[in-house]
């Protein structure tokens, strides 16, 4: 395509009538190709999610394509299963506890980093964001070994601590982004008008960083709810999170129950995101 | 507050302490213990006599099987990164350049939707697509394009497809930010000077987005080599990668020392990547990020 395009000037020299149309059509077909490629990529991204829904509704007890009908039997089986329901409840419990602790710790840390005049801020931020890139399975393994060595068993707080560690970076990042974007003169103005540092914090700083903190909290919830590698090592048999239960089920069965469970967890994630978007508006904060 | 330009930490600095404590107890201590376990002959709590040993590392280096596992992990990571870059770049470019706000919001949702769908769920989706009786094979058979199912699953190809799908959003989001910061007028200037859109892209936009390419690739590579669910399910327990091997050492063999040594190797690779990633991001944002 590049050669065609770069040759068009010489074509233009030999055939005076053609140039505008040639360049124009090359440009247009380039544009069409660009859109076609992108739409194919979008299809690749979204098709698997659509497929999950199809299999959740398909009544046959094995993978079958094309689907033979529509039934809710897998949803019934999922909601009637004690294992899945227990896992769902446990996952929600862990995700809520994780969100609360990650939000409080992460927002405080971001505040200290942005306003506390700490030395070595760069290094601290890099360290706090590192659980994002370090293999979560190692976080799980290292915590597992520690709990074994300390002989504490596999308590829920141990799992929540692991989840907090891997979700904290999201809160730190979104909160820091807001803290760096807002005008510090607002705080100075409040101080100049006689507000105490504490009052300035509660009446100026906190309301301003709220959207960033909440965006971080949403990420924390979703990441914790879907978290697998940390949980893999830290859950105890009979007390597993939903992703671990799904994984164990998938190892042996490939029926529509997994599809139904998947749809439920997708819907749940979307409800959380859309609900919070409605209440706080997070669109402008979803930036990496 | 900051205008007084005091360099000494103020009261707000204390807010770092809870997180510092969390990291100390649940991150540095466990990783330190893992490093320690990797050079001990056994569990010091239950065994009265433990000694230092390098046997776990010697076993890894001495047995070609383990080197093969490490190489498989890295190979899958490299191919995944390359494909994710090739797929992610056009989409990121579109997202960064699209004019309509609604269009941008829709694209963002399309990229975030897979991220909201857990790893296990997406791996299940790919199993239904790639298995012998899966969507792709059944469709191809129905149209008579193939006479027997293609072996899409239980292979490295299947693993790569699944991993690309899972990690391409990370690539797109990293790249979009970088491409979005490139001044569009530079491309327009190149085009006004007679370059075709493609040439303007190759000579202007692409070089300027290199730091983003680097950052996105390092991130995807780091995530891909530490993946567990996708390689084990799409590889059908037949392809061994480092994370699978680590979990197997714990669950099947309960060889904590060897698992720890494997973990340290994976950690070292990842740490190198984290440092490189931070360098790459530093190139993107210059000194703007912090102070």
Mean residue pLDDT across chain B: 87
Peptide bond before B120: cis, by omega within 30 degrees of 0? no
B274/A133 CB distance under 8 A: yes
Chain B contact present for A284, CB below 8 A: no
Chain A contact present for B103, CB below 8 A: no
A105/B19 CB distance under 8 A: yes
ipTM: 0.84
A143/B26 CB distance under 8 A: yes
Structure confidence at residue B284 (pLDDT): 66
The interface residues of chain B toward chain A in range 230-289, judged by CB-CB distance below 8 A, are 233, 243, 246-247, 250, 256, 259-260, 263, 266-267, 270-271, 273-274, 277-278, 289
B127/A254 CB distance under 8 A: yes
Structure confidence at residue B131 (pLDDT): 85
Q: From the list B29, B107, B135, which residue is nearest A65 (CB)?
A: B135
DSSP 8-state assignment for residue A235: P
A102-158 pLDDT, tens digit per residue, is: 999 999 999 999 888 888 888 899 889 888 878 889 999 999 999 988 888 889 999
* Residue-level length of chain B: 291
Q: What angle do CA B117, A107, A115 make, to 5 degrees?
A: 140
Peptide bond before B81: cis, by omega within 30 degrees of 0? no
A144/B250 CB distance under 8 A: yes
Q: Which residues of chain A have pLDDT under 70?
A: 1-23, 63, 276-288
For residue B52, the SS3 value is strand
What would the two tokens of residue A165 be? Answer: 């560690």
Closest Cα to residue A272, out of A107, A75, A91? Answer: A91
**What pairs with residue B52 in β-bridges?**
B40
If you measure CA to CA, which chain B residue comes closest to A178? Answer: B289
Q: Do B46 and B126 form a contact (C-beta atoms < 8 A)?
A: no
Chain B contact present for A100, CB below 8 A: no
Q: From the list A49, A113, A134, which residue is nearest B274 (CB)?
A: A134
**CA B174 and chain centroid, separation:** 12
Structure confidence at residue B240 (pLDDT): 94
**A69 contact partners, CB below 8 Å, separation of at least 6:** A58, A59
Q: Which residues of B touch A33 (CB under 8 A)?
A: none
If you measure CA to CA, which chain A residue comes closest to B262? Answer: A138
Chain A contact present for B147, CB below 8 A: no
Structure confidence at residue B115 (pLDDT): 81
Sign of CA dihedral A240, B34, B273, B26: positive
DSSP 8-state assignment for residue B148: S
Structure confidence at residue B90 (pLDDT): 95
Q: Do B146 and B140 form a contact (C-beta atoms < 8 A)?
A: yes
Can you tell me the distance from the alpha carbon of A224 to that of A219, in angstroms, rounded to the nearest whole number? Answer: 8
Structure confidence at residue A282 (pLDDT): 52
What would the two tokens of residue A190 be? Answer: 């409040």
Can you tell me the distance from the alpha carbon of A158 to that of A147, in angstroms, rounded to the nearest whole number? Answer: 8
Q: Which residues of A touch B112 (CB under 8 A)?
A: 273, 286
- Which CA distances in Å does A156 have to A54, A86, A144, A236, B31? 35, 14, 12, 9, 20
A246/B124 CB distance under 8 A: yes
Q: Which residues of chain B have pLDDT under 50?
A: 1-5, 287-291
Q: Do B107 and B91 form a contact (C-beta atoms < 8 A)?
A: yes
Q: From the list B135, B194, B289, which residue is nearest A51 (CB)?
A: B135
């Amino acid at each position: 395509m590049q050669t065609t395009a770069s040759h068009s000037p010489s074509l233009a020299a030999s055939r005076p009538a053609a140039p505008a149309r040639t360049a124009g059509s090359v440009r247009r077909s380039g544009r069409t190709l660009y859109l076609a490629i992108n739409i194919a990529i979008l299809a690749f991204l979204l098709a698997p999610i659509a497929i999950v829904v199809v299999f959740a509704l398909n009544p046959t007890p094995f993978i079958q394509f094309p689907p033979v009908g529509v039934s809710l039997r897998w949803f019934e089986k999922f909601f009637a299963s004690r294992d899945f329901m227990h896992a769902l409840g446990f996952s929600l419990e862990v995700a809520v506890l994780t969100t609360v602790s990650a939000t409080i710790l992460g927002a405080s840390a971001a505040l200290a980093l942005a306003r506390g005049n700490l030395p070595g801020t760069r290094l601290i931020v890099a360290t706090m964001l590192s659980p994002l890139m370090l293999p979560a399975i190692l976080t799980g393994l290292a915590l597992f070994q520690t709990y074994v060595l300390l002989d504490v068993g596999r308590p829920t707080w141990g799992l929540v601590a692991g989840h907090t560690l891997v979700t904290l970076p999201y809160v730190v990042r979104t909160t820091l982004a807001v803290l760096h974007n807002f005008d510090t003169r607002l705080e100075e103005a409040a101080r100049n008008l006689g507000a105490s540092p504490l009052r300035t914090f509660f009446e100026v700083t906190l309301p301003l960083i709220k959207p960033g903190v909440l965006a971080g909290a949403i990420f924390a919830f979703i990441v914790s709810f879907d978290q697998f590698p940390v949980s893999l090592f830290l859950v105890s048999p009979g007390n597993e999170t939903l992703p671990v239960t799904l994984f164990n089920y998938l190892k042996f069965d490939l029926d529509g129950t997994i599809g139904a469970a998947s749809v439920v967890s997708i819907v749940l994630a979307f409800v959380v995101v859309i609900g919070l978007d409605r209440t706080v508006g997070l669109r402008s904060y979803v930036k990496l | 507050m900051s205008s007084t330009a005091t360099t000494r930490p103020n009261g707000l600095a204390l807010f770092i302490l809870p997180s510092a404590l969390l990291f100390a107890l649940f991150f540095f201590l466990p990783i330190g213990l893992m490093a320690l376990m990797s050079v001990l002959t056994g569990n010091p709590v239950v065994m009265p006599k433990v000694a230092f040993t390098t046997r776990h590392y010697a076993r890894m280096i001495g047995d070609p099987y383990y080197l093969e596992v490490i190489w498989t992990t890295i190979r899958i990571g490299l191919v995944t990164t390359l494909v994710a870059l090739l797929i992610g770049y056009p989409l990121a470019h579109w997202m960064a350049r699209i004019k309509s706000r609604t269009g941008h919001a829709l694209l963002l949702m399309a990229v975030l939707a897979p991220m909201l769908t857990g790893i296990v769920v997406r791996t299940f989706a790919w199993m239904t697509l790639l298995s012998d009786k899966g969507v792709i094979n059944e469709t191809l058979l129905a149209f008579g394009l193939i006479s027997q199912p293609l072996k899409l699953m239980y292979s490295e190809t299947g693993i790569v497809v699944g991993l690309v799908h899972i990690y391409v959003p990370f690539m797109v989001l990293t790249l979009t930010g970088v491409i979005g910061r490139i001044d569009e007028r530079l491309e327009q200037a190149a085009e006004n000077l007679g370059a075709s859109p493609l040439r303007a892209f190759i000579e202007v936009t692409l070089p300027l987005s290199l730091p983003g390419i680097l950052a996105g690739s390092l991130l995807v590579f780091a995530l891909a080599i530490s993946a567990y669910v996708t390689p084990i399910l799409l590889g059908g327990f037949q392809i061994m990668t480092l994370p699978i091997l680590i979990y197997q050492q714990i669950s099947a063999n309960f060889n904590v020392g060897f698992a720890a040594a494997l973990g340290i190797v994976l950690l070292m690779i990842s740490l190198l990547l984290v440092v490189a990633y931070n360098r790459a991001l530093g190139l993107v944002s210059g000194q703007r990020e912090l102070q």
